[in-house]
Amino acid sequence: MAFLEIDNLGKSFDRPAVRDISLKLEQGRILCLLGPSGCGKTTLLRLIAGLEQPDQGKIFFEGRDVTRKPVHLRKFGMMFQEFALFPHKNVFDNVAFGLQMLNLDDARVEKQTLAMLDLTGLTELKQRNVAELSGGERQRVALARSLAPRPRLLMLDEPLGSLDRALRERLLLEIRSILKELQMTAIFVTHDQSEAFSVADDIVVMNQGQVVQKDTPESLYMRPESLFVARFLGFKNLLPGSIVEAGGIKTALGTLYPAHADVAEGKKVTLLLRPESARLVRGREPDVALGIIAGRVVGRLFIGQSYRVRVVTENDTELTFDLPNLQPPPPVGGEIVLQINPEMMSLIPDFCTSRRLS
Amino acid sequence: MKQRSRYFLIIPPLIFMGLFYFYPLASIFSLSFAPQDNTPFKGVEKLFSSTYYVRVLWFTTWQAALSTLLTLVLALPVAFVFARYTFRGKDLLLSLTTIPFVLPTVVTAAAFSALLGRGGLVNTVLMQLFGLEQPVFRLEHTVWFFLMAHVFYNFTVVLRLVGGFWARLPGQVHDAARMLGATGRVVFLRVTLPLLAPAIMAASLLVFVFCFTSFGVVLILGGPRLATVEVEIFRQAVHLFNLPVAAALSLVQILFTFGLMVAYTRLERRTSVALLPEATPKRTALTLGPKDRLVINTCVCGMAVLLGAPLLALFIRSILTETGVGLTYYLALFENRAQSILYVAPAVAILNSIGFALAATLIALILGGLSSAFLAGAKARPAVLLDPILMLPLSTSAVTLGFGFVVALDEPPLNLRSSWVLPAIAHALVALPFVIRSVLPAWRSIPQSLREAAVMLGASPWRVWFAVDWPILRRALMVGAVFAFAISMGEFGATVFVARPQTPTLPLAIYRYLSHPGSLNYGQAMAMSCLLMLTTGIGFGLLEKLRPASGNF
C-alpha cells in the first residue's frame, strides 16, 4: 500500500487540465511535478490538496479514499506560489495559525511555533509585519507556516518562482534539508528542471495534463524516454536515425555506436548526444564509427566552467557541445575535430522529424 | 523641468484656493467669533446657549450613523456577490449603480418624492387599487424619507470600495487558511473580515461624511421641522439672516468633516498598501450551481428595486399628466407663461446651467492640470504638503463654501456678489479635487524611462511632451472634464447661495418648482429632473468608457 495513491484522476476547466493520471508516492520521499506552464501540474497539486474537486478518479491516502474529504480535514500542508502570507498578521501569528486550528492550548501553540521559527531561522523576525520582509524571509515564513501543524503531506507550488536565481539556489538546499530533517513527504511543483533536480527524490514530467515520464533525477537526465522530455530538459543534439546492425544507428553524421542500444533492427529512433559528451582531439582522422567527427566552428561562447561551441559538420548538421575549459577550442570559422563518448549517447524511442540544419 | 521653475505652475491654483477657499473660510471664522451688540463671540455663544443647536447636531449625527448602518447592511451582501461571482451583465450593473451616486441631490429628492411621496406613484396605485381615501405611506417630513435617499445614493460607495477590495483579496490566502485546517466560517471570521476591515471602515466613514453633510435631500424631503447642520446653516443665513449663528454652525461643520476626512485618508492609504506585495489573484471561474444562481438573482432583483424604482418613478411621473400620458410638462418647460410666479423661463435655467458648467469645467481643467503637473514632478515634501491642501474643498461642505462666498465676496476688496461668474467659480472649486484625482495618477503613471527613450531617439522636449505625455493625459483630462461638467450641472448646496435670482441653474429651478404647489409645477420639476438625470447619465456613461476599469474612486 502506497502512502499516497492517485488513481486515474481527471479534471477539466474549459479544456482538460489533468487527464487520467495515476501515481504513487512512498512515505518520506520528495516528488517533483515538472513541466511547462499550463501542463496541469498545479491543477494536479490542487486536486490532491482538495482545493479542486476532480471530475473523475480517486485519491487514496494511507489506503483510505480521501477524494471527497474537505480541505481542512485532510491535514495536508501547502506552500503557495507568491507565498500567500496573511497580510494582517505578523510572522509569529502567521506560523501559529495552523496550530491554532488544531485547537491546541495557547502554551503549546506558542512552544511549537517558536520551535518552528527556530528551525527556519526566523526567531528574530517573529514580531515583524509580513509586508516588511524580504523575498527570502517571506519564503521561510511560508515554509514555517505550512510545516508548523506537522502536515502528513506537504505540497509546494512553485515556491521559489518569484525569487532571484542566487537566492533560489541557496533556499532550495535549505528546503530540502529541512524536509529531510523532518522526514516530510512532499510534492514539489516547478517548471525549472534545475530546481527539480536539486530538490527531488523522484521527478514526474508532465505535458498536456498527462504524465510523460517518472524517474529519479539521474535516470531522467541520462535516459529521457521521449523527445518532449529531451527538449524540455534543454537537449539540442537530437539526431533522427534508424538501427542498422548490432548496436549501430544510422544518422545524418554516419553510423554511430552508442554504449547501450538494445532496440530491434530497422526501428526509427532519435539519438541524443549530450552536450558534455564531446572532447577536443588533435591529430586524429575523423572516424564516425569511433565517435570522432569533424566540422567547422560557427559559434564559440566562454561560459566559465566550459566553452559552449556550435559546430556544423561536413554533412550540414549543427551540434552544440560544452567543452572543458582545459584547452581553448579553435576560433569561429576554424576546423575542429571532436570525440564523442559513446557512454553519453542516449537512444530515444521517439523519432525526430524536424531536423535542424544550418 | 527645473524644480524652481516648476513652482510657477502651482501659483495660479494656490491664488485661486487662497481667494476662493481660504479667504471665505477665514471670513466665516471671524464672523462667528466677531463681537456683536456689545457681546464678544456672539455666534458661538448663541450656538451653545440654546439646546436647539445641540439637538440639530445630535440629529445630524444619528441620522448619518443610521444611514451608514442601513447602507452597509444592504450593500455588503451585494459586495460579496460581486466579489465572488462572475455573471453576465455584472460590469454593466456595476456601472449603473454609479448613476444614483452622481445624480444631483435635487433629482434624487424628486425621484423619491415621485415614488413614495404623498402623490407618488406607489401611493397613487395603492389608493386606486383599494379605493383608499388616504395615502398608505406618509413618509413626507419623516426622517425615513431621506434615510432611504441616503441609502440610494451611497449604495455604490460601499459596493465599489468594499466589493473592489474584496475581489482583489488574494484567493491564495483563503486557500492557505483552508489548507491549515480552517473551516469556511473560520476563514471568513479570521482572514476575510480582518482583511476587509479597513475597506469597510473607509467606506463607512465616507458614507457617514456624505450623510452628515447631506443638504438637498434633507431640505426637500425632510420638510420644515427636520434639519441637519447643513440645512440649519442655510435657514439661518438665507431665511433668518442670522449670519453669526450660521457662521458658527459652519465652523462646527468644518471641524467635524475635516476630522473625518483625515481619518478616511489614513484608512484609504492602509487599504491600498496592505496588499501590494501579493500578486493579483487568479480567479478560476466558478461553475454556478442552482443555489449560486438564486443568490445572484436575488441580489440583482433587490438592487433593481432599490436603485431602479425611484428613477423609473421619476420618469413615469414626468410623462404622466392629469390628462394621461403626454409630454405636457416637458413642453411647458419651454413656454414662458405670463402668469408664472417664477420670473425665469425653465429653458433659460438649462442654458444657465450649461454655461456655468462649461466655464467651471474650463477653470477646473486649467487649474487641475497645472496642479497635477506640479505634483507629478514635485519632490516628495512639497507634494505631500500641497496635495492635501488642494483636496480641501472635497472635505468642506458645499453649503459652507457657498455661505463663505456670500460672507466674503460681497464687499470690497472683492465684490463678486452680483457677478455671473460666482457660481462657475464655486463649481470649479468643488470640481478641482476630482480633476486632480483623475489627472495626477495618469501623469504619475508615465514612466520616466519612456520620456528618456523618446529623448534618446532624438525628440525635442516639445515633441516628447506631445508624443509621450499628451496621449496618456488626454484621456485623464477628458475624465476630469466630464467630472467637472457633471458636478457643476448638479451642484446645489453652494449654488443656492451664490446664484443670482435672475440666473438660476437647473437644480435651483427644480427646487423652486418642487416647493411651489400645483400639479404643473410638480410635473415640470419631474420633467427637468429627468433632463438633468439624462445629462448626468450620458456624462458618466462616457466616463465609464474613458476610465480604465478599477474599483476605486
Nearest to A110 by CA among A131, A92, A130, A128: A92
Rounded average pLDDT over B429-439:
90
Q: To which H or E segment does residue A286 belong?
A: none
Instruction: Give the mean pLDDT of A305-328.
Output: 91
Is the per-residue pLDDT at A358 higher than 60? no
Rg (CA), chain A: 25
Q: Confirm or reject contact between A13 and chain B (CB < 8 A).
A: yes
Give the domains, in start order, of chain B with CATH numbers. Answer: 1-34+327-553 (1.10.3720.10)
Q: Comparing B476 with B380, which gets the higher pLDDT?
A: B476
Q: How far apart are CA A320 and CA A356, in angstroms?
A: 12
The arrangement of strands across the sheet holding A249-251 comes to: A254-256, A249-251, A238-243, A268-273, A345-348
What would the mean pLDDT of B462-483 be, rounded to a whole number? Answer: 85
Interhelix angle for B519-546 vs B309-319, to 10°?
A: 130
Question: Does A87 lie at the interface with B, CB-CB under 8 angstroms?
Answer: yes
* pLDDT band, residue B337 (cuts 50/70/90): low
Go through the domains of chain A in sequence order and give each one's CATH number.
4-229 (3.40.50.300), 235-348 (2.40.50.140)
Sheet holding A30-34, edge to edge: A76-79, A153-157, A186-190, A30-34, A202-207, A210-215
- CA B458 to CA B167: how far, in whole Å? 44
Alpha helices in chain A (DSSP H): 41-49, 91-100, 106-119, 135-147, 165-181, 193-199, 217-222, 227-232
Give A135→chain B minimum CA distance, Å: 10
A48: contact with B, CB 8 A cutoff: no
Contact call for A146 and B274, based on CB within 8 A: no
Per-residue pLDDT, averaged over A56-77, amounts to: 92
DSSP conformation class of A316: S
**Predicted confidence (pLDDT) at residue A325 exceeds the cutoff of 80:** yes
Is pLDDT above 80 for B4?
no
Identify the CA nearest to B484 among candidates B389, B356, B310, B325.
B356
Rg (CA), chain B: 25
B194: nearest CA partner in chain A? A88
Please tell me the number of Cα atoms within 13 Å of B412 on its side-chain side. Answer: 0
DSSP letter, residue A313: E
pLDDT digits (tens, 9 = 90+) for B189-245: 999 999 888 889 888 988 998 899 889 899 888 888 888 999 999 998 888 888 888
Tell me the pLDDT band of B286, cut-offs 50, 70 and 90. Answer: low
Q: Is the pLDDT confidence value at B551 over 50?
A: no
What percent of chain A shows pLDDT beyond 70? 97
A-B C-beta contacts closer than 8 Å:
81
Candidate from B186, B190, B278 with C-beta closest to A82: B278
DSSP type of residue B396: S
Please spell the DSSP secondary structure of B108-176, one letter per residue.
HHHHHHHHHSTTSHHHHHHHHHHT-SS-S---TTSHHHHHHHHHHHHHHHHHHHHHHHHHHS-HHHHHH
Of the ranges B209-223, B330-344, B390-404, which one carries the lowest mean pLDDT score? Answer: B330-344
Counts of helices then strands in chain A (DSSP H, E): 8, 20
Question: CB–CB of B278 and A146 under 8 A?
Answer: no
Give contacts of B173 with chain A, Cβ < 8 Å.
84-87
Residue in this structure with the C-alpha cell 491554532, named with its chain if needed: A100
User: Which of chain A's residues have a Cβ under 8 Å away from the Cβ of B191?
Assistant: 86, 88
**By the CB < 8 Å criterion, does A131 face chain B?**
yes
CA–CA distances in Å: residue B70 to residues A314, B150, B151, B160, B531? 84, 9, 7, 16, 30
Task: Give the model confidence (pLDDT) of B68-87 as tens digits.
Answer: 999 999 999 999 898 888 88
Checking if the pLDDT of B2 tops 80, the result is no
Cβ-proximal residues to A64 (8 Å cutoff; 6+ apart), any chain: none
- Alpha-carbon distance of A94 to A142, in angstroms, equals 8
CB B228 within 8 A of CB B62: no
